[in-house]
Amino acid sequence: MIVETLAPKALEDGAALPGPLLTELTALYASNRAFQQLSGDFPDPDAIRPEQVAAALADELAEPSAEVLLARSEGRLVAVAVTLGHHPDPADPDPWLGLLMVHADEQRAGFGRRLARHVEDGFRAGGRTGLKLAVLEGNARALAFWTSLGYEETGRRPDRAHGRPCVVLRKPLVRAVS
């Protein structure tokens, strides 16, 4: 699996994502119908349009410390992750994983675990001591996935964007002892 970063520059000043990449991203988002229904991020989870995905990614990249990571296997886009190096709440010292989505056809093949590990390793290498994320209440599959990777519940609160109830999870990022 190869992970590339979608640079914030890619969407500045009204720039459009390259058509083939936007097509791939739209297919990935649309493949996760159950999540899209739960999240309500798109008005019609059965008809997600490229311009909606482009707008969602532009919103994500509006945060100064945000990164969008694209994971590919054999040239195919299999997963996307959105990270925040600094949470908008200055009292929160941890980086956040805002989204990790694996194409529905590729789930349970280890891509999510590998992309999560890639994100953790990057923050660990940068000296960060923990990583947080929020799982929408009612998303039992996601909660099981993240707890299997060592994330533990630290609280519950509404998400910043839409006020949806979420479970906040955190994983310590300790360095391996040599």
Q: What is the pLDDT of residues 31-43, one digit of tens each?
A: 999 888 888 888 8
Here the contacts of 25-31 (C-beta below 8 Å, separation 24 or greater) are 25/50, 25/53, 25/57, 25/77, 25/80, 26/50, 26/53, 27/77, 27/103, 28/77, 28/78, 28/79, 28/80, 28/101, 28/103, 29/53, 29/56, 29/101, 31/103, 31/104, 31/105
Average pLDDT over residues 113-136: 96
Determine the pLDDT at residue 76: 93
Spell out the alpha helix ranges (H) of the chain.
Answer: 19-31, 33-39, 50-61, 111-125, 140-148
Determine the pLDDT at residue 18: 73
For residue 116, is pLDDT > 90?
yes
Q: Is pLDDT larger for residue 8 or for residue 56?
A: 56
Average pLDDT over residues 122-150: 95
Determine the pLDDT at residue 63: 84
Determine the pLDDT at residue 10: 52
Determine the pLDDT at residue 170: 97
Give percent of the chain with pLDDT exceeding 90: 61
Q: Give this prediction's pTM.
A: 0.89
For residue 11, is pLDDT > 70?
no
Q: Residue 71 in contact with residue 79, Cβ under 8 Å?
A: yes
Average pLDDT over residues 61-67: 86
Average model confidence (pLDDT) across the chain? 89
CA–CA distance, 79 with 58 (Å, rounded to integer): 18
